[in-house]
Amino acid sequence: MKKLFLSLALVATVTFAYAQKKIVKEAEKGFKSGDLKTALAAIDAATTNPETSGDPATFLLKAQIQTKIFARDSANAMETLEVGNQALATFGTTFKMSGSSETSPVGKLVYADELPGIPDNIRPYSLLTLKNISFDKALERYNEDDMEMSYEFFNLAGEIDKTDSIIHYNAGFLANDLGRFEEAKRHFGYLFKLPAYNKTNAYYFMVQILSTEEKNPDAAFEVVTKARQEYPNDKVLAEYEIQLLLQLNKMDEAMTQIKDALVRDPNNPGLLLRSGYLKEQAGDLEAALVDYKKSVEVDSNFFDGNYYTGALILEISRVILAELASLSDAEWEKRSQEMGKQADDLYKQSVPYFTKALEIKSDNTDIMIILFQVHTRLKNTAEVKALDSKISAILGANWQEID
């Protein structure tokens, strides 16, 4: 009788195990035929049953089914992304169950390579298939101007492959554009780990995020210092370094870097402007003016060069007038005509620079007001009247009463 019970129990166990394996077969059949809803329901049952839930092949099939569902969903919305994330998680479970080894039988299938243009019926639907599908969806969304979803699909592809420079650059670029700066930094961080990759653009973005968005010039300077070690001849990084040295009030270091940069690029208007600025801060106004003027000679449409040149000319004039005001009555009588003429000549010299700056930025009322004041001192009635009309049209007729 015991033997009979034992035989019946064994038959029941075999029958039950066969039934569970039949469910896996049903899932395989649905996967191959395209009946993915049935396939997913069957494989979900298999992954929760003790008889089949311990087999990594069961979870591999589930990941493949999810990947195929992900591929066929052309909506490419958040719901699509969720299926992709689920597939990624299932692949992770599968790989862990197979000993986290790419050389194990199941591990090889998880990371099975996929040739471009491979027919769907022999596509491996591996983790790399999931990456490629997500990349394609990211491009589709980008072409439809859906930058949020384009980023999400690039991000999913990047989670699968941390070494794909195209994916991580695109993801970082879009995250930065969307104001998702922590995510942008993460993707650019992956690029920094790639030895053969040209990282200059990634460094540009990282420095801008740290210095401008996060207002952390110390961290930005740390990044640009590392970047300059890798790319010592890059002009953009050299300018960023100088800019950050100025922000950090490291004037001597900034001047050293500017001099070195000007040796390599003597006609760079931005460098000439910064050189002039440092000299102005050090009190050498004449030397600063030489650099400012040269920046405009190099590029007549350089707004900052024109503005800074005009402003410094007026500052030199102000110094002369301040000195005149401090003289004794007797000295004032002797020198007022000469010094007043010097000041007026400087006012005249500033006019072409401010006029050009206004030509470049025609709606800049600050420059209009400066020119109004200059022409008022020089008694240029027609210019004063024209500027008053322009300013009044923008700021109102009582603009002179505005604080």
Mean pLDDT for the chain overall: 91
Residue after which a domain boundary falls, among 126, 161, 196: 161
Cα(282)–Cα(252) distance, integer angstroms: 10
Q: How many folded domains does the chain comprise?
A: 2
- For helices 147-160 and 78-97, give the axis angle rounded to 10 degrees: 10
- Residue where one domain finishes, among candidates 265, 283, 317: 265
Residue where the block lists tokens 């653009």: 201
**3-class secondary-structure state, position 231:** coil
What CATH number did the domain enclosing 231 receive?
1.25.40.10
Which residue has 């920094």 as its token pair? 192
Same domain, yes or no: 70 and 151: yes
Percent of the chain with pLDDT over 70: 94
The answer for residues whose C-beta is within 8 angstroms of residue 321's C-beta and 6 or more apart is 339, 343
Q: Whole-angstrom Cα distance, residue 289 to residue 280?
A: 8
Q: Of 146, 161, 176, which residue sits at a domain end?
A: 161
When pLDDT is cut at 50, 70 and 90, the band that residue 20 belongs to is: low
Instruction: Summarize pLDDT for 243-271 with one digit per residue, the tens.
Output: 899 899 999 998 998 998 899 899 999 99
pLDDT tens profile 325-367: 999 989 998 999 999 999 999 999 999 999 999 999 999 999 9
| 8 Å CB contact between 208 and 221 | no
- 113 & 33 share domain: yes
| Whether residue 45 is found in the same domain as residue 86 | yes
Residue 33 domain boundaries: 19-161
Residues 41 and 109 in one domain: yes
Contacts of 213 (CB under 8 A, 6+ apart): 181
Residue 226 gets the label, from left (phi > 0), alpha (psi -120 to 50) or beta, of: alpha
**Element of type H or E holding 148:** helix 147-160
Q: At what angle do helices 181-192 and 200-208 cross, to 10 degrees?
A: 150
C-alpha–C-alpha distance, residues 392 and 134, integer Å: 56
